Chains A and B, each alone.
Chain A
Amino acid sequence: MDKALLERKNLDALLVAIRKVAKLFAPARDGRDGETAFSPVESTAEIHLEPVNTRLSAKGLFFPQRETLMRFSGSALSDVTLPTGAFVVFGVRPCDARSLTWLDCVFIGGGQEDPYFQERRKSAVVIAMACDQPCASCFCTSVGGSPYGSEGADLLASATGKEGALLFEAHSDKGGEFLRTYADFFAAVDGDTLKERDERAAAAKRRMKALDCADLKEKLDAGIDSPLWDTLTKTCLGCGVCAYLCPVCHCFDITDEKRGAEGVRVRSWDSCQFPRFTLHASGHNPRPLKKARMRQRIMHKFSYAVETAGTVFCSGCGRCVRACPVNLDIRRILAAFKDLQ
């Protein structure tokens, strides 16, 4: 069965059953400004799905901010302990789910697997939640996504409007397996429910203004020396907010932290917007100016990724737009270039 209906009264029981075998992460209130964050939850009462996305994306559940890669003592390497433990992530928006497939391109595949990331991906079931109320800062439809998109989701859940019932649709073997495992909590789906779902999906898409991004890569490539890079990025502060909150940004730093002869090698998030990101040991910095750094960010996402991974590396989640301390809007930059002659 690849589609099933979960009535509201069964949701709590389903979560309890999941908790017996796995950790459960979902958007919960993070105690500040009404915002939410992916947190471990025990019951439906803790889950809050807001029209506005979670502060941090789901990427931190797979590619944590700080990850201990190995321990050492003197010159002896101790065992590397890979993360274990099954977990379910519920309430991931289609933009975040899609980004997970792009992180897969980076961390898995090509014959070089990142074992830490891979373990977590293997251990997780991703249940996406479709968006019926896209926000003004959302632009997934401008970058090939959709509020009812299923890329990266093992299951896509959507609100049916029938007394809180949720429609679950499996989009992977793991998703199908999930529905079979928890079949007791689900009911069959009728044709009307599916029809309504299609209507809701269309309505959500209609609420969004899509930027026409055809030829964007060509325009960006042609505009590499454009003075627009300077004028559009003058106000950038050079912090890491956009890169850290982005569901697909994945640059990292590896450092050793020691006390005496004992230590750990750790990986932590990094941002190409930090002024010293590209500082060489010689003192030379190939990207000394803000415009070069922001240009690299845009080019990576909208040009280089298309060449290397066959897709843009932006899901249109809008977090960078909302959270940028100076409201530097990526959509503005894209609009300026797509109109370039």
Chain B
Amino acid sequence: MGDAAREIRRIAAELFDGKKIDVLIGFEKGSDGYRSRPVFVSSAAEAERLAWDATCSHNLAVYLPSLFRRGPQKKGAESAPPRVGVVAKACDMRSLIALAKEKQAPRESLFVIGVPCRGMIDARKLEAEVARAAGGVEVTALVDGEEAVSVETADGRALSFAREPLVHDACLECRFPVPRGADVMVEGHARPAGNNGDALLKEFAKLSETERWQKFQAEISRCIRCYACRQACPTCYCTECFAETNSPAWIGVTTELSDTMIFHIVRIFHQAGRCSECDACVRACPMGIDLRPFTKKIAADVREMFGFTPGFDLETPPPLLTFREDDQQGFITEPHRG
């Protein structure tokens, strides 16, 4: 998608030349010629590094809370918050709105460059395919086509792989591939919206209680407590996470299974009404844990119980900060009468 990359560079340069932003968070080419990595650029010259392709799968909103976190300010002498540009897919945008709603990043201090998304591919899957096809040869370029992704190798070969099988599973279920509310939109088309009928979640929910517990345990027992999921999540921004407090020490710090299961259950619960289902937690995990049957559950429950989907407007109060007189209470135990 060379056009999107060029557009992003052009807009970024304009913003810096017009002194509209102090820093811009985007993507640049990563290791080995085809991964992407997040990058902070602070000038029109540095903006030349910005890139955009099928491997830009990170959620850049994760960097926002720490940019705006400031210590106590002297009244009357408050420093102005930084003006931050950010390149955003739809999932990034929704996280950004959730953060603005929670006062972690003022919307007026952000300039959002929106990019419609065709679905991002898993760079690790691609790397494994290249390693299998061509050994450890270095890749020098990646071209993201409509149906296929091609790479050029250092020894002059061109390898082509079908695009869809490389796309992250979560992208296949994306309901909102076009960012809404960006300050400027880059041209391009998005993949068709749809969530596959929430097939993943339904498939999991159909299992028996024993099977669900076994699957949950099997996934979570892979966890090495590296916290990559938490650190990659834009809405996990607590400076002291419940998993690390020691008075009270809610859970142990090791990979003991009960502790680890509670870490994931509670972290996912904390995302209720805030999670944009961006898949950052799944992509960050070095152990390949699939958290989606659980993250999607909390998001689906908030939708069904409270009619709320995060990331679209700044006015609606977060669902756990409010209530309705007629909120469902079918779950309440009614004791039988004698």
Which residues on A are within 8 Å of B, measured CB to CB?
A: 30, 32-35, 50-52, 55-56, 65-66, 133-138, 207, 209, 231, 234-235, 237-241, 244-245, 253, 255, 257, 266, 268-269, 271, 274-276, 321-323, 325-329, 331-332
- Are A30 and B288 in contact (CB-based, < 8 A)? yes
- Are A329 and B30 in contact (CB-based, < 8 A)? yes
B4 to chain A, nearest CB (A): 20
- Are B124 and A33 in contact (CB-based, < 8 A)? yes
Q: Is B177 positioned at the interface, with any CB of A under 8 Å from its CB?
A: no
How far is it, in angstroms, between the C-alpha of A246 and the C-alpha of B46 when the chains are bound? Answer: 32
Known interface pairs A56-B224, A65-B255, A239-B226; A276-B136 also in contact (CB < 8 Å) = no
Interface centre among B137, B224, B244 (most CB of A within 10 A): B224
- Are A328 and B37 in contact (CB-based, < 8 A)? yes
Known interface pairs A32-B288, A52-B127, A66-B255; A239-B224 also in contact (CB < 8 Å) = no
Known interface pairs A240-B226, A241-B286; A266-B252 also in contact (CB < 8 Å) = yes
Contacts of A326 in B (CB 8 A): 37-38, 58
Total A-B Cβ pairs within 8 A? 133
Contacts of A274 in B (CB 8 A): 227
- Are A65 and B138 in contact (CB-based, < 8 A)? no
Q: Is B39 positioned at the interface, with any CB of A under 8 Å from its CB?
A: yes
Known interface pairs A239-B231, A323-B286; A137-B224 also in contact (CB < 8 Å) = no
- Are B288 and A33 in contact (CB-based, < 8 A)? yes
Q: Is B242 positioned at the interface, with any CB of A under 8 Å from its CB?
A: no
Contact with A along B113-155 (1 / 0, CB 8 A): 0000000001111011001100111110000000000000000
Q: A65-B225, A66-B255 are in contact. List 20 more A-B contacts (CB 8 A).
A: A33-B288, A51-B135, A65-B224, A65-B255, A136-B32, A136-B136, A137-B127, A207-B135, A207-B137, A237-B284, A238-B231, A239-B231, A244-B224, A268-B253, A275-B239, A322-B124, A322-B127, A325-B283, A327-B123, A329-B31
How far is it, in angstroms, between the C-alpha of A138 and the C-alpha of B138 when the chains are bound? Answer: 10
How far is it, in angstroms, between the C-alpha of A234 and the C-alpha of B32 when the chains are bound? Answer: 20
- Are B40 and A244 in contact (CB-based, < 8 A)? no
A58 to chain B, nearest CB (A): 15
Nearest-neighbor residue (CB-CB) of B283 within chain A: A325
Q: Is B235 positioned at the interface, with any CB of A under 8 Å from its CB?
A: no
How far is it, in angstroms, between the C-alpha of A137 and the C-alpha of B34 when the chains are bound? Answer: 12
- Are A266 and B254 in contact (CB-based, < 8 A)? yes
A108 to chain B, nearest CB (A): 23
A255 touches which of B125, B225, B239, B253 (Cβ 8 Å)? B253
How far is it, in angstroms, between the C-alpha of A205 and the C-alpha of B8 when the chains are bound? Answer: 40
- Are A136 and B226 in contact (CB-based, < 8 A)? no
Contacts of B139 in A (CB 8 A): 136
- Are B136 and A234 in contact (CB-based, < 8 A)? no
How far is it, in angstroms, between the C-alpha of A335 and the C-alpha of B178 when the chains are bound? Answer: 38
Contacts of A329 in B (CB 8 A): 30-31, 37
Contacts of B287 in A (CB 8 A): 32, 55
Contacts of B32 in A (CB 8 A): 136-137
Contacts of A52 in B (CB 8 A): 127-128, 131
Q: Is B186 positioned at the interface, with any CB of A under 8 Å from its CB?
A: no
B192 to chain A, nearest CB (A): 26
How far is it, in angstroms, between the C-alpha of A65 and the C-alpha of B255 when the chains are bound? Answer: 7
